[in-house]
Amino acid sequence: MSESSAALPPMSAGPRHGVRIFATWAIATAIVVPVMIWVVGPHIPPGSTSQQARDQHDVNVALTALAMPVLLMIWVYFGYAVRNFRQEGEVVVDGPPITGNARIQATWLIVTSVMVLGLAVFGTIDLLSTGGSGGGEGPAPLAKPADAASALQVQVIGQQWEWTFRYPGYGGVETTELALPVGREVEFHVTSLDVAHSFWAYELAVKADAIPGSDNVAYVKALRTGSFQVRCAELCGLWHGHMNTTGSVLTDAGFATWIANEQKENAAVTKDLPPYSHVYYPAPLRNG
């Protein structure tokens, strides 16, 4: 036997390599996946401030848990290959040709196909059953929550470079602050006065594009009181980075007090506002 051929792993060791790789992967998966779910999972965004955030969080944890075994298989295989399938010494020769393994290829194709199709079904059912994902669904949403008919309507208006919020159920008062009652379905109507913006209420898991002339509807139900961040997620000009504010989730009594104060303080401005509409066009376009 020549020195070069002696440096290569014996062909008869192939099945043993497969068993070792599978055993290492199974042990790693049994350890890493529970750690990811129970230790890392609670810290995966967007949290649980709203029903939509809780739904998205659960999906993100499930996706990560499903991705970990696939990722671990790749890492284990490459680590094992680097450790075992290499020549020792200074002699470098080509190894035996690889002709492929139909069983391994079919297994990989079947497993990944089942995962992808299963996730597609899971995501579609979850989206329709929960009444939306917190993303803008256009002016006529297909997925609505069960209590959509009694939802509080809040219009979100983007403009360079601030957000304003209009409450048509309270005389059409428009404020620079966003407050929502806890435990009540909210129906956001998102639009813009000038360029494309994107309304992102981070902790509520709501993200909807604000487009001039478009009414983009998104639903959310806050589950606990507290504050949340509001940002613009679409590059909209020079001061895009400053287009952020903080919203609040209040108790029913707290919201009633807040909206009454806003109506009183903004009474003089409210009467000069245009009638409530799902979209507003800038003055030059309206005049034209």
More confident residue, 203 or 18: 203
163: exposed, middle or buried (Cβ count in 10 Å: 0-12, 13-18, 19+): buried
Q: pLDDT per residue over 53-104, tens digit each?
A: 888 888 889 889 988 998 999 999 999 988 887 777 776 677 677 777 788 8
How high is the mean pLDDT of the chain?
A: 85
The per-residue pLDDT for 227 is: 92
Which residues have CB under 8 Å from 51's CB, separation 6+? Answer: 130, 220, 221, 223
Banded model confidence at residue 287, pLDDT cuts 50, 70, 90: very low
Of all residues in the chain, the percent with pLDDT exceeding 90 is 44
Q: pLDDT per residue over 141-165, tens digit each?
A: 887 888 888 899 999 999 999 999 9
The per-residue pLDDT for 55 is: 83
More confident residue, 124 or 276: 276
pLDDT surpasses 90 at 252:
yes
pTM check: above 0.95: no
More confident residue, 16 or 197: 197
How far lies 268's CA from each of 42, 124, 262, in Å? Answer: 47, 47, 11
Domains of the chain: 12-86+102-129 (no CATH), 148-283 (2.60.40.420)
Q: pLDDT per residue over 214-245, tens digit each?
A: 999 999 999 999 999 999 999 998 989 889 99
The per-residue pLDDT for 12 is: 45
Torsion of CA 210, 216, 219, 225, to 10 degrees: 20
Identify whether the C-beta of residue 219 lies closer than 8 Å to the C-beta of residue 187. Answer: yes
Q: pLDDT per residue over 6-55, tens digit each?
A: 444 444 455 688 888 889 999 999 999 999 899 888 888 888 888 888 88
The per-residue pLDDT for 159 is: 93
Distance, CA of 122 to CA of 174 (rounded, Å): 39
Identify whether the C-beta of residue 143 lies closer than 8 Å to the C-beta of residue 217. Answer: no
